């Protein structure tokens, strides 16, 4: 399970050093893609990415290769995902295209979100958190 919030800086080549607690939960390979519901990047393990993608089809009765909608959704999701190896220094290289897509500056915040990580521009993350109150969380929790 991926948890925690970690402030990090991208190096000059756009590489992100993964926090040690997070690194222990990942294999040597990850998938990175723009988040669909947030101004961030998602980072999944191999297994986590497969479970997440297939889970999106559960309400539809599972992926059906004969359905155009299923094919289009699968195509879009898998084409957005960039496979990356984690190097010996526990870093992943975020392409310029990925960084631009979610407006990531040098300063980022890595957030654990159960089955994946999210990489946010630090200022964007801080603003989103400032807008949320404990009462907002309690209302969601107890609804």
What backbone phi and psi angles, to 5 degrees, belong to 79?
Answer: -75, -25
Q: Among the residues of the chain, which ranges form H helices?
A: 20-23, 46-55, 68-80, 96-101, 122-130, 134-141
DSSP H or E run through 28: none
* Residue 20: alpha-carbon gap to chain centroid: 17
pLDDT digits (tens, 9 = 90+) for 19-77: 999 999 999 999 999 999 999 999 999 999 999 999 999 988 999 999 999 999 999 99
| DSSP class of 33 | E
Contacts 24+ apart (CB under 8 A), 17-22: 17/89, 17/90, 17/91, 18/86, 18/90, 18/91, 18/92, 18/110, 19/110, 20/90, 22/110, 22/112, 22/117
Q: What pLDDT, in 10s, does the model give residues 90-115?
A: 999 999 999 999 999 999 999 999 99
What total of structural domains would you count in the chain? 1
Instruction: Give the whole-angstrom CA distance, residue 9 versus residue 107.
Output: 5
Q: Which domain holds residue 97?
A: 5-141
User: CA 104, 105, 111: angle at the middle one, nearest 5?
Assistant: 55
Q: Which two tokens stand for residue 21?
A: 């607690």
| Mean pLDDT, residues 112-122 | 98
Q: List the CATH number of the domain containing 58.
A: 3.40.1550.20
Strands 29-34 and 40-45: antiparallel
């Amino acid at each position: 399970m991926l948890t925690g919030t970690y402030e990090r800086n991208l190096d000059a080549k756009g590489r992100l050093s993964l926090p040690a607690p997070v690194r222990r939960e990942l294999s040597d390979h990850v998938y990175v893609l723009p988040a669909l519901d947030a101004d961030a990047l998602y980072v999944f393990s191999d297994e986590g990415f497969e479970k997440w993608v297939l889970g999106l089809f559960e309400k539809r009765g599972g992926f059906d290769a004969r359905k155009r909608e299923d094919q289009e959704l699968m195509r879009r999701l898998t084409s957005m995902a960039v496979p990356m190896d984690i190097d010996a220094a526990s870093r992943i290289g975020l392409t310029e295209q990925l960084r631009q897509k979610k407006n990531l500056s040098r300063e980022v915040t890595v957030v654990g979100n159960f089955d994946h990580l999210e990489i946010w521009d630090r200022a964007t993350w801080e603003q989103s958190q400032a807008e949320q109150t404990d009462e907002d969380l309690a209302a969601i929790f107890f609804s």
